[in-house]
Amino acid sequence: FEYPEDRLLRLKGTISDEDMHHPPAMDQNGEPCLMVVKHGNTTGLTVGHANDIRSCVHNYHEDGTTDFSMEWAILPFDNKSGAFSTPGDSSAVVADGSGRIGGIITG
């Protein structure tokens, strides 16, 4: 990852399913990993490891409506880093170092 000279990561495209499930890079332990970043209103810029496990969440509301979402776990970059996101970071885009979008923070 090369930090852009103007400090602005240009977002373009999406992270492919293949790269999400079979990351193209390795972490410091030689394990496959997909590094992602986000800039949240509360935590600012954070870096994390994207987990290849997804959760399917179905919410059933009292009025009979339902909604469905896919949730993606992002782990802290290392044991010295804080949480990838906290309350107040909702709507922050999660992207890889190439600017490909992987998701959005909710909740």
Q: Does the structural domain 17-104 have CATH classification 1.20.1740?
A: no
What are 16-70's pLDDT values in tens digits? 989 988 888 888 788 888 999 999 999 999 999 998 778 899 999 999 999 998 8
1 band by pLDDT with thresholds 50, 70 and 90: low
> Is residue 4 scored above 80 in pLDDT?
no
* Per-residue pLDDT tens digits for 84-99: 999 999 999 999 989 9
| Full-model pTM | 0.83
Please state, in angstroms and as integers, the Cα–Cα distance from residue 31 to each residue in 24, 49, 60, following that order: 10, 11, 38
The dihedral region occupied by 20, where left means phi > 0, alpha psi between -120 and 50, and beta the remainder, is alpha
Residue ranges of the domains in the chain?
A: 17-104
